[in-house]
């Protein structure tokens, strides 16, 4: 491996990459020596060591990298570090594992004890639990049983979703499962950054952000106070639970219901709660979660909650009544299955240690079993004239001028309309001005666009 020193950059993100790379380079050199030692000993070849634990282990105390911090945080043993490197190798140095392609000449195939699988596109060796067992124990049965404990559900590898054994078929030996490192920790060990998943069929949720600030949130005073309670929880929940001892009495997470007409600020509020506390907010696309096939909805939900569990995310379920709605009487198998989905969801929401926000247009659509478990239920009404005037006053971009006779205070008084619709009206009025070649918004433009928004809702002006 190349041991040429890497010049540090003024870019903090690049420095995290450099630091991880330097630490991992030393770790992988050690790992390569351990591999070589294991194979030499196993096949009776000349070797300078009598066991793999004689190979000098790199010191990490002076290493300044996310990788070394995580190793030290969990107090990882030599075995745990080697298994971690084995899982990392296909991603960072796949050629290290080519040694496992050694053939058993007696049978004209690979050695069973090496484990491993072939990928669909990856041409290298992909390790399994059997590979880890061979590396650490060879033919020692006692050691084999000890190594298997590294994949126990109570081990920090599983509890913190660092590594897992993934099997395609049930009934096969546990250690035949593919040794997979989580995307989260792969991201930490490479870029030094938290992994932020993109929307996909496996993860039907989208990270949402906003350019607006807390002071841009236009809500009545008592509603804003209720929202600020969630903000207070996000800032102080660790003190409340751990230092004040409330963890004995309450669940670790926080659940809130936002309800009210469309466009009244529910999504914006969730986004701002994340922005002001430095947390990612993920909006769950329920149309991609709910499936007509038995078991698929639970599986889709599990993918979301499993990835979010240790991330300190805010999960935002928009149009939540599609999944959290009232349960039906269990008259047939379809109804019973639908109710099972709701029960499963209820349990996952209750057990989630972060903040879950459910948003719906109608509170009455939400099942009472969920409603009883909310710490707060916040109504987002249509804005009153004073709030509407604030929204109109900040709706238009700076270059825009208001035409003669356009009185926003009168518009705010006469037309009951939500903030989301006001933004749409601002957009289309501004486009009209650009088409005309000026920067003026006229009253007739505004009224036309208000009518269009009302028609969307089946209303007339």
H helices present in 326-384, as ranges: 333-351, 368-371
**What pLDDT, on a 0 to 100 scale, did the predictor assign at position 339?**
63
Q: To 5 degrees, how large is the angle CA 249–CA 355–CA 199?
A: 150
Residue 233 is inside which H or E element, if any?
helix 221-238
The angle formed by the CA atoms of residues 434, 435 and 436, to the nearest 5 degrees, is 90
Residue bearing tokens 């006229």: 442
**Mean pLDDT confidence for 381-400:** 93
pLDDT of residue 331: 54
Measure Cα distances from 211 to 6, 42, 115, 208, 276 in Å.
37, 60, 50, 11, 11
pLDDT at 9: 42
Q: Please indicate whether residue 240 or residue 4 has the higher confidence score (pLDDT).
A: 240
Question: How far is the C-alpha of 129 from the C-alpha of 144, rounded, in Å?
Answer: 10
Residue 426 three-state SS:
helix
Q: Which residue has the tokens 């078991």?
A: 295
* Tokens 């009232």 found at: 326
The residues that bridge with 207 in the sheet, in sequence order, are 282
**Does position 155 have pLDDT exceeding 50, yes or no?**
yes
Which residues neighbour 161 within 8 Å (Cβ) at sequence distance 6 or greater?
182, 184, 185, 306, 309, 310
Q: What's the whole-number mean pLDDT along residues 304-311?
A: 82
Mean pLDDT of 302-312: 82
Render pLDDT for 318-338 as a digit per residue (tens, 0 to 9). 877 766 655 555 555 555 655
What is the rounded average pLDDT for all residues in the chain? 87
pLDDT for 361: 82
H helix or E strand, kind and range, residue 3: none
Q: State the CB neighbour count (10 A cutoff) for residue 198.
A: 8
- What is the rounded distance in angstroms from the CA atom of residue 369 to the CA atom of residue 342? 10
pTM of the model: 0.74
Integer Cα distance of 212 and 228 in angstroms: 17
Is-contact 194 343, C-beta < 8 A?
Answer: no
443: tokens are 């009253």
What does the pLDDT look like over 51-104, one tens digit per residue? 999 999 999 888 889 999 999 999 999 999 999 999 999 999 999 999 999 999
């Amino acid at each position: 491996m190349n041991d040429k020193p890497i010049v540090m950059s003024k870019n903090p993100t690049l420095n995290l990459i450099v630091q991880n790379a330097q630490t991992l380079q030393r770790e992988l050199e050690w790992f390569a020596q351990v591999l070589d030692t294991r194979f030499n000993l196993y096949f009776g070849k000349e070797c300078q060591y009598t066991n793999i634990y004689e190979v000098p282990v790199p010191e990490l105390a002076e290493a300044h990298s996310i990788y070394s911090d995580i190793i030290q945080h969990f107090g990882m043993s030599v075995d745990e570090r080697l298994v971690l490197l084995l899982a990392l190798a296909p991603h960072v140095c796949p050629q290290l594992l080519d040694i496992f392609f050694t053939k058993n000449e007696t049978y004209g195939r690979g050695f069973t004890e090496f484990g491993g699988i072939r990928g669909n596109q990856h041409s290298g060796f992909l390790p399994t639990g059997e590979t880890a067992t061979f590396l650490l124990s060879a033919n020692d049965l006692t050691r084999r049983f000890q190594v298997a404990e590294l994949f126990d559900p109570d081990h920090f590898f599983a509890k913190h979703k660092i590594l897992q054994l993934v099997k395609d078929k049930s009934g096969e030996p546990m250690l035949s499962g593919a040794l997979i490192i989580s995307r989260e920790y792969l991201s930490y060990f490479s870029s030094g950054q938290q992994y932020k998943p993109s929307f996909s069929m496996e993860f039907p949720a989208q990270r949402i952000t906003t350019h607006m600030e807390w002071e841009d949130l236009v809500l009545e005073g008592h509603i804003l106070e209720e929202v600020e309670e969630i903000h207070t929880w996000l800032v102080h929940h660790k003190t409340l639970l751990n230092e004040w001892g409330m963890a004995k009495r309450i669940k670790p997470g926080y659940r809130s219901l936002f309800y009210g007409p469309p466009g009244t600020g529910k999504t914006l509020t969730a986004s701002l709660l994340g922005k002001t506390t430095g947390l990612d907010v993920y909006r769950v696309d329920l149309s991609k979660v709910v499936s007509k096939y038995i078991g698929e909805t639970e599986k889709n939900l599990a993918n979301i909650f499993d990835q979010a569990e240790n991330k300190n995310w805010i999960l935002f379920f928009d149009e939540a009544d599609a999944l959290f709605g009232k349960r039906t009487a269990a008259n047939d198998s379809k109804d019973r299955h639908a109710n099972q989905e709701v029960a499963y969801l209820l349990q996952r929401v209750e057990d989630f240690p972060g903040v879950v926000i459910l948003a719906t247009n109608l509170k009455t659509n939400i099942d009472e079993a969920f409603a009883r478990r909310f710490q707060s239920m916040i109504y987002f009404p249509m804005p009153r004239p004073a709030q509407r005037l604030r929204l109109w006053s900040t709706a238009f971009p700076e270059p825009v001028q208001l035409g003669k006779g356009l009185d926003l205070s009168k518009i705010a008084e006469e037309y009951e309309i939500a903030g989301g619709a006001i933004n749409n009206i601002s957009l289309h009025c501004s486009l009209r001005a650009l088409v005309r070649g000026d920067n003026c918004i006229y009253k007739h433009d505004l009224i036309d666009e208000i009518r269009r928004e009302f028609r969307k809702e089946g209303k007339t002006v």
